Structure 1
């Protein structure tokens, strides 16, 4: 990074914010009726009275939680929507596991209003009964799966319960001594809620006059699909290591000719089978966009000499540098001052 960019990046980390509004809302839910469930008994608090509960009746399900921070004087016309990955929540964007300000603060300091979501079934979006509404039980991510596969902190066989016996990839940029703090962020996920989640994200996009979508991992497919569903409202799409993408067959990439797309990829992708299988599928959608005349860029960080980045790009020790690459991309297209 040049000296000028280093100075500017430092100012983004320290400049004060003038905030006009902080708030939140839910979007995307629907009322459902539950029937045939047995009565239950509950004690609401220690030493409290027994309360008979009838779980039958109406509930809301499929809602998504959205928190927004609006600046007093934003320098960007369109807000930035931060969408998390699978088994995670919006906390990924707020503060890194080792305590540094996250991308929410970075882009607020860069002059954009920021919306952080907890998607359907995650965090403050709440759950719904299963199998009555969610058709199956949730999955819970283990440390080994995160370390050795999804987040690429270390090769196969390198995870150990004892921190002293873990063997991360040489040069990995994730602060591996904060693995336990990162595990605190894991949330259960269901394999049956893709349609509900897409509807909720689409409802968020429809609620705003226009927006820039920045996604991570599982959120990538939702963001790329949301752009297809609302190409007039989605102004740009930034995908950090999306784990999936729309298929070129059956989707009209030409509808996104005027919506710039950016894909950003870290290191060690060829050493983990999940990513060996996933990246080519995303590449095919990138190629379809390019063939349609879309302004689309594919950034391979190691090819730029930026090595060691894990799947947790927003939490790696050079996360501000990666955010600066994204910000520069937005600036060159007139989306940020």
Structure 2
């Protein structure tokens, strides 16, 4: 099967899926299924590294294969980022620019795909709303791949426990997680708690010393794909706001879903951000969580500085709007389509999409 036939087959498969997705995407899919033109992927960023002086060792690549002398010395490609895209046919496209979806710390692009309870995620929602969507696995995550430590990555990987995920992501209050058999959630949580263990299977190791190569890879992505809109979650926001400040003509808006990485206006000129429409979406229980108040405070400082420079900044405080129980993983909560609709409405009001 040649490349064009493969692309057509993949597009037909996703088209059929979109046409059968049902109620979860009905608010935007009521006009009928969308037509997909192309599904594909690529890597950006990265560099070539040569290692030498490492010891050889004997390995078996399968239980029945003969021993092989493995030589770890030589050239490698490292610090690259992976991106998968879904491009719509022109008749189905209702957004002016593609949407890039960037994940948070210890996570991958799975954040935006199928939710842990099996329901469609925001990738599906915004494709059905008429957006070309690009979902990335940043440097060191998922299909971007790792590199050797300490020869290339300079620190050991960090792993997230279930307790940290449960409490930091505000599924339950502090000290509400003892074990999988002994944990209690907020009574009004929107997170599908029966799927929490399934969600934690998405967790991957992260390195706290790789911000520079990650920024370079995202920079390469922006220059390859944009003009664009970026929808970013949590730790990924540091890269989004840095690049929006660097490329205010290429990045047409940034939707921050509980962003946790701000630019410090005392150290960085945030004036270019005043040229980029910014939306911030906040879930519930932030005011009751001291750690989250500390995370949010630098973001509020950046918001105030951008507003002072005439920036277009909007915030959706979900509990203030009567939408209660949202966790840090808003795009996975049971009411995630309701929140996605608010984001889509904002994009329409900003002239970046149509209904």
**TM-score normalized by the length of structure 1:** 0.95
Aligned residues, how many? Answer: 330
Q: How far is 1:136 from its partner?
A: 1.2
- State yes or no: 1:290 paired with 2:307: yes
> 2:171 is matched with which residue?
153
- Aligned match of 1:179 in 173, 191, 196? 196
1:270 aligns with 2:287: yes
Matches within 5 A, 1:1-337: 9-12=26-29, 15-73=32-90, 74-149=93-168, 151-163=169-181, 165-337=182-354
TM-score normalised by the chain length of structure 2 = 0.90
Give the Cα–Cα distance (whole angstroms) in 2 for the partners of residues 122 and 7 of structure 1: 28
CA shift, 1:323, in A, is: 0.4
Superposed displacement of residue 296, structure 1: 0.4
Comparing 38-47 with 91-100, greater Cα deviation is found at: 38-47
Structure 1: where are the runs of 5+ without partners? 1-5
Structure 2 residue runs of 5 or longer lacking an equivalent are: 1-22
Contact kept, 8 Å, 1:67 with 1:116, in 2: the verdict is yes
2:280 counterpart SS class: strand
Distance 2:112 2:160 in 1: 19
3-state DSSP of counterpart to 2:33 = coil
Q: Is the 8 A contact 1:13 1:109 kept in 2?
A: no
* RMSD of equivalent CA atoms: 1.6
User: 2-side partners of 1:11 and 1:61: how far apart?
Assistant: 40
Runs of 4+ in 1 over 6 A off after TM superposition: none
SS of 2:178 mapped into structure 1: coil
* Matched residue, 1:3: none
**Matched residues in 1 for 2:71 and 2:154: separation?**
21
Q: Is the 8 A contact 1:257 1:295 kept in 2?
A: yes
Rounded Cα–Cα distance in structure 1 between residues aligned with 2:94 and 2:171:
36
Spell out, residue by residue over 1:282-337, the C-alpha distance to the aligned partner (whole angstroms, 9 max, x if none).
11111111111111012211111111100000000000001001000000011111
In structure 2, C-alpha distance between the alignment counterparts of 1:11 and 1:271, rounded to whole Å: 34
Q: Cα distance 1:37–1:310, how it changes in 2: closer, same or farther (>3 A)?
A: same
